[in-house]
C-alpha cells in the first residue's frame, strides 16, 4: 500500500481494477473495504501535482449485492425496459461502494454453447444484442452521467471474441468483413450511438491479427466511423498477449503497436507503464497520440463527475425495490420449453409433488458466473421456495442418493427435478466439449420415468444444453438458467401459475 501511495503522489496511477485476477468471475474474490479506495483517492486528489482523480473499475456484470440473471438469461427476457430499470439499481449499489466504471455489457455475438463465455453475452442475434446494449448502457449511465448513481459502462470484447473456433476460449476466429459488419459489430455500433463511455478490446485473434493492435478496428471503425468519444481499454494483458500471438517480438513492440492503433489504456499488463515514455523519446509514438489517449480518459473522468465528487457518496438505496425489479427480470428470462397436456401450472393446494435433483439445495450456483459481490444471505433454495408456495411438497432428503429417491417417488403424483450445472463450469476459461444433460442426471430422469410418474424438469444451466432424446422423458421443461438472487422464487411462481413464463 505504501508503494501505491507514493506512485499516486507522483501522478503515476490513473485507474485501478478492483480485482486480483483475470478470471475473477469464478474465483473467491473478497469484497474490498471501500475505505481503501477513499485513502487511495485522497493521495491522488490532494497530494499529487495535478490532483487528477483515479477511476475505479470493477466487474459489475449482472448485479452487485442484488444479482440479476446471467446476461444470456436477461437477453431471453426480450424486455429492454425491465433490463434498463434493473441496471439503474445495480449501478446505484455499486456506485455507493466506490465503483465508477463497470466492465459490462459483454456484446459478443456467440453461436457455440460449448464456449463458456456465451453465458455472459447476448446470444446469437445481433438485433437483440443492439437492444440489450442500449438498455444496459442507459441503465448503468443514466441520463445524467454526473449523478451519484451513474457509472461508466464498458462494452466488451471488441470484437469477434464470440466467434472463436470450436467454442475454445482464447482461440482464433476467421471473420469476413461482411459477417463482421452485419453480425459482430452491430451491437457495438448501437452501444456507441447510445452514449457508451468506454470499450474493451478483445485479445482473440481474428484472421491473423488482433483487435488490440488493429488501427482499422479501433481507430477507423470504432472512433471515427462509429464516433466513440470515450476511451478504449485493453482486456487483461491483451497488449502483452500480442507477443504470444506472434504479432510483436516483445512487450515494447506490443505497446507501440497497440497505442498507435488507438488503444488508450493498458489493463494489468504494464506494457504502457514500462515502455511508452521510451517509445516517445525514440520517436516511435508521437506526443499527439499520447495526448489523445490522455484526453479521452480525462473526458470520461470529467463526464462522470469525478473531479467534482471524487469520493464515494454513501447514498441510501432501496434494496426491497431492487428485489422487486430483479424478481421481475428473472420471471421473464425463464423459458417454458415444453408443457405436455398442460401439466403446468400445478395447483398449490391439490398437486402432490416430490422434489429431487442436485440443484434443489444450491445457493451460490444460482448467481451464475461473474458475481463478485452477491449477497448470499438473501438467496432462497429451490426446495424452500417450492415448499413455501405449495401445500403438498415432499423434498428428497439428499440430492445424490438416488435409491432413496426412487423409493419415495411412488408415493406422489408428480416429480419436479431440479437439474443443472455449477457456475464453475461456465464463464471464462470454462469451455466444454460436451453440453448434454450430465449423464448421472439423465440416469436419474430415466429411472423415475420408468416408474410412470410425470416429470417436470427445471433446468438451472448457464449455457444452452443439448437435450436431444432426453426431452422425451419430461412432461414439462422450464429453462430457468442461473437467474440470480430470486431464481428459486421465480421457479416456484412459474410452476404454480403466479407468473406466466
144 is annotated as an active-site residue: no
Coil, helix or strand at residue 157: strand
Distance, first Cα to last Cα, the chain: 50
Alpha helices per DSSP H over 319-368? 319-333, 364-367
The residues, ordered by sequence, that sit 6+ positions from 459 with a Cβ below 8 Å of its Cβ are: 419, 420, 465, 477, 478, 479, 480, 481
Which position has the grid cell 449499489? Answer: 93
State how far the Cα of 139 lies from the Cα of 383, in Å rounded to an integer: 33
The one catalytic residue among 89, 235, 264, 331: 235
State how far the Cα of 488 lies from the Cα of 483, in Å rounded to an integer: 8
Q: Which of 150, 151, 216, 161 is nearest to 187 (CA)?
A: 161
CA atoms within 13 A on the CB side of 256: 16
H/E stretch holding 88: helix 80-95
CA atoms within 13 A on the CB side of 97: 17
* Exposure b/e, 89-121, CB count within 10 A at least 16 = b: bbbbbbbbbbbbbbbbbbbbbbebbbbbbbbbb
451: exposed, middle or buried (Cβ count in 10 Å: 0-12, 13-18, 19+):
exposed
Structural contact between residues 356 and 418, judged by C-beta atoms closer than 8 angstroms: yes
Q: Which of 364, 484, 377, 487 is nearest to 62 (CA)?
A: 484
425: exposed, middle or buried (Cβ count in 10 Å: 0-12, 13-18, 19+):
middle
* DSSP state at residue 185: S
Active centre residues (catalytic): 235
Amino acid at each position: 500500500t505504501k508503494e501505491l501511495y507514493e506512485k499516486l503522489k507522483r501522478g503515476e496511477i490513473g485507474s485501478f481494477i478492483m480485482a486480483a485476477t483475470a478470471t475473477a468471475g469464478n474465483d473467491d474474490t473478497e469484497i474490498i473495504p471501500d475505505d481503501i479506495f477513499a485513502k487511495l483517492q485522497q493521495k491522488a486528489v490532494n497530494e499529487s501535482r495535478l490532483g487528477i482523480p483515479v477511476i475505479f473499475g470493477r466487474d459489475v456484470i449482472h448485479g452487485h449485492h442484488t444479482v440479476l440473471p446471467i446476461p444470456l438469461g436477461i437477453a431471453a427476457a426480450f424486455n429492454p425496459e425491465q433490463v434498463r430499470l434493473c441496471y439503474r439499481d445495480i449501478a446505484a449499489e455499486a456506485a455507493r461502494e466506490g465503483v465508477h466504471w463497470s466492465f459490462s455489457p459483454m456484446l459478443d455475438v456467440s453461436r457455440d454453447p460449448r464456449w463458456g463465455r456465451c453465458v455472459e453475452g447476448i446470444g446469437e442475434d445481433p438485433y437483440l444484442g443492439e437492444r440489450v446494449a442500449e438498455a444496459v448502457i442507459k441503465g448503468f449511465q443514466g441520463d445524467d452521467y454526473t449523478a451519484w448513481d451513474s457509472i461508466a459502462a464498458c462494452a466488451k470484447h471488441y470484437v469477434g471474441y464470440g466467434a472463436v473456433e470450436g467454442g475454445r476460449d482464447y482461440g482464433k476466429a476467421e471473420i469476413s468483413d461482411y459477417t463482421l459488419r452485419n453480425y459482430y459489430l452491430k451491437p457495438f455500433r448501437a452501444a456507441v450511438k447510445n452514449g457508451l463511455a468506454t470499450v474493451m478490446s478483445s485479445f482473440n485473434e481474428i484472421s491473423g491479427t488482433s483487435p488490440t493492435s488493429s488501427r482499422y478496428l479501433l481507430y477507423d471503425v470504432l472512433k471515427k466511423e462509429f464516433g466513440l468519444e470515450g476511451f478504449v481499454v485493453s482486456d487483461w494483458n491483451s497488449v502483452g498477449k500480442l507477443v504470444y500471438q506472434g504479432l510483436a517480438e516483445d512487450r515494447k513492440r506490443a505497446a507501440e503497436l497497440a497505442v498507435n492503433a488507438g488503444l488508450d489504456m493498458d489493463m494489468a499488463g504494464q506494457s504502457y507503464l514500462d515502455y511508452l515514455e521510451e517509445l516517445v523519446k525514440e520517436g516511435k509514438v508521437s506526443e499527439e497520440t499520447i495526448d489523445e489517449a490522455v484526453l479521452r480518459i480525462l473526458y470520461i473522468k470529467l463526464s462522470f463527475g469525478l473531479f467534482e465528487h471524487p469520493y464515494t457518496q454513501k447514498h441510501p438505496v432501496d434494496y426491497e425495490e431492487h428485489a422487486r425489479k430483479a424478481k421481475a427480470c428473472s420471471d421473464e428470462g425463464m423459458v417454458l420449453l415444453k408443457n405436455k397436456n398442460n401439466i403446468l401450472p400445478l395447483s398449490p393446494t391439490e398437486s402432490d409433488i416430490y422434489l429431487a435433483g442436485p440443484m434443489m439445495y444450491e445457493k451460490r450456483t444460482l448467481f451464475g458466473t461473474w458475481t463478485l459481490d452477491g449477497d448470499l444471505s438473501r438467496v432462497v433454495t429451490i426446495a424452500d421456495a417450492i415448499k413455501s408456495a405449495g401445500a403438498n411438497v415432499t423434498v428428497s432428503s439428499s440430492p445424490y442418493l438416488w435409491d432413496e429417491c426412487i423409493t419415495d417417488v411412488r408415493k406422489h403424483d408428480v416429480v419436479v427435478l431440479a437439474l443443472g450445472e455449477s457456475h464453475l463450469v461456465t464463464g471464462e476459461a470454462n469451455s466444454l466439449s460436451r453440453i448434454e444433460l450430465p449423464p448421472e442426471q439423465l440416469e436419474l430422469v430415466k429411472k423415475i420415468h420408468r416408474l410412470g410418474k410425470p416429470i417436470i424438469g427445471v433446468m438451472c444451466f448457464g449455457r444452452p444444453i443439448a437435450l436431444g432424446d432426453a426431452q422425451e422423458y419430461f412432461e414439462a421443461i422450464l429453462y430457468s438458467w442461473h437467474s440470480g438472487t430470486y431464481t428459486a422464487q421465480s421457479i416456484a411462481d412459474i410452476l404454480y401459475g403466479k407468473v406466466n413464463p
